[in-house]
Structure 1
């Protein structure tokens, strides 16, 4: 397809927007496919009303109830889901008294709050806030919190959680591969009564053993539990241009990606846009979980909150963010983003902690 340029437009994307106009990115395949930039007389989020299921939504996950144990399905509170992925919150009220195995999908835990130790077939791993923990499908494990405030964000996918292709950035971009932590075997040689709750087709089967199931003396291979910290991620930056969020991809799975937003310097070249540009992201639903820091592009959103922007509806910076951007030199926000190819459904549990007027926050 030949690139065209008509009317009033910026010679560079996200740079020196013509006075009185607003730039919108209209692209396909997320931020990887064909794209055009539209220069409007009004911000595309300047609506007065939205009726229907695609209204932008926000949720306060801090209001989700604490649950007793992981294993019985109601205790993992699913907020959003489709056929390829679900996103849930788990806030344990007490340490689990059984082990768990997910036969439905691979899991990615993000530790929002709390510390403890994760015991697995492969051995134990300590965890603390900001940790990502990848647990392959079929792994037997048990969380042992050491603090009372554990809060996990859980992504369950049909495929393997994989590292993204770093391409021209090189293998040490995003994070050095040597920071990946994997468990050392520590067999638990105890006798007694031990239960493993196995989830398959969203039903739970309980297996009872007279010995501890985590009795592995050694292991080898390339399928294992592994961990990295969001605080070890080095963001991709460009001082001359605001880059799309896809450059912050941390994990890839079938039908969705997980991105990490961490503190970084803002663009410094005069005329460069410093805030996320308006876009409608027509091929992906976008979900953001806010972990820590000052989320200057989202007014009224704080720690432990979630925003959900469906395909086809514009989103971009709030007016307050645009007003204050010139005085800012860096961001200190820490957030986790999920982009899904298939549309997401919102559960009743999520709706109960929803912010009804979030869509008005652009007014």
Structure 2
């Protein structure tokens, strides 16, 4: 039998007619939602910030990790530091200088590389692909690949365990929105690819069910001279993403979905204009995302909704508690000093709870849960500009 969520819109007390805009005077808004931002939802209006806690205890607390403190130059990508993981996705960090002298092959799922810093050349079954800062590279399951770094590379890897990466549905905004498939690049059978072929011995390190097997070839198995079809690695740079925007409404993170995995999504935040409607929120709204864990990697720029966060850090908000902007950002919820955001960030939202890897635990910023505390006492809601209330 088919079924649908219980849904019966109601209104009680003081409430806005439009979510994330024209809040009742003296209130903070909190969204309670199901299925990320796609299911039934209610906007609650409070007289205190929903993150106005005084202390935290227990494992559910919000966490932050400074990945810059991880010294991970392991020779094998399969020894890369595990940050967070569950049965559907593994998030790892790896640094590479020089050349991989072996080929990697993931038999457990598609691999997504995100190049945080550095540049180089990726060689795989399909050919040669230059990579540089801000690139996503999707490697279909069992693709053989290696990288030659021309400048030291720091990257994140997201394994889509037992699944495939797909592009998000774009619905009413059309297939060319967010990023046009025409900007995706695939490897080429070019001079650089042909030049690396030869009869030297090569080892292929294959990961399957978490275990590594090694196959030895008396030649370079990246010896293709051509291919045709619709399965291949693709590259997308964050600067080729054109974000959805609304000048009258703060769009939820789901509007910035870049890749869809198996029970998780990866979103990208790139510079965009702030909302110009005086009554519209201009910071992320307080919300309970009670069906998803939310992870944010800060890649570059000025992270306007968070205090004391730098490029190369990660925040993890497990599902089940309210979160939202920090106190300084909250004071700018209706008026911003700039006309645009200036940030690049990668977001991982998982339908199933994540577990913390040892590497993340070693670089946790222990005081992060206290970062919502306002100095000088409880915050009062900023006033909506007069021209918005009239």
Q: What TM-score do the two structures reach when normalised by structure 1?
A: 0.97
Q: Partner of 1:147 in structure 2?
A: 151
Whether contact under 8 Å (1:68, 1:94) holds in the other structure is no
Q: Partner of 1:268 in structure 2?
A: 276
Cα distance in 2 between the residues matched to 1:347 and 1:156: 14
Confirm whether residue 176 of structure 1 aligns to residue 180 of structure 2: yes
Give 4+ residue runs of structure 1 displaced > 6 Å after superposition: none
Q: Deviations over 1:193-227 (max 9, x none)?
A: 11111111111111111111100111111111110
Number of matched pairs: 360
Q: Partner of 1:357 in structure 2?
A: 367
Task: Report the alpha carbon displacement of residue 328 of structure 1 after superposing the two structures with TM.
Answer: 3.0
Helix, strand or coil: the match of 2:100? coil
Matches within 5 A, 1:1-363: 1-71=7-77, 73-74=78-79, 76-148=80-152, 150-158=153-161, 159-185=163-189, 186-187=193-194, 188-325=196-333, 326=335, 327-363=337-373
Whether contact under 8 Å (2:112, 2:136) holds in the other structure is yes
Cα distance in 2 between the residues matched to 1:301 and 1:114: 21
Task: Report the alpha carbon displacement of residue 264 of structure 1 after superposing the two structures with TM.
Answer: 0.2
Cα distance in 1 between the residues matched to 2:131 and 2:188: 15
Task: Report the alpha carbon displacement of residue 94 of structure 1 after superposing the two structures with TM.
Answer: 4.2
- Bigger Cα displacement from structure 2, 93-102 vs 203-212: 93-102
Q: Deviations over 1:40-97 (max 9, x none)?
A: 11111100111111100000011111223234x33x1110000000101001244321
Cα distance in 2 between the residues matched to 1:298 and 1:238: 22
Whether contact under 8 Å (2:98, 2:150) holds in the other structure is no
Cα distance in 1 between the residues matched to 2:231 and 2:87: 24
Whether contact under 8 Å (2:83, 2:93) holds in the other structure is yes
Helix, strand or coil: the match of 1:357? helix
Cα distance in 2 between the residues matched to 1:284 and 1:195: 39
- Name structure 2 gaps, 5 residues minimum: 1-6, 374-390
Q: Deviations over 1:22-51 (max 9, x none)?
A: 100000000000000111111111001111
Cα distance in 2 between the residues matched to 1:222 and 1:53: 44
- Name structure 1 gaps, 5 residues minimum: none
Q: Deviations over 1:98-136 (max 9, x none)?
A: 111111111000100000000000001001100000001
Q: Deviations over 1:131-152 (max 9, x none)?
A: 000001100000110012x100
Cα distance in 2 between the residues matched to 1:280 and 1:26: 5
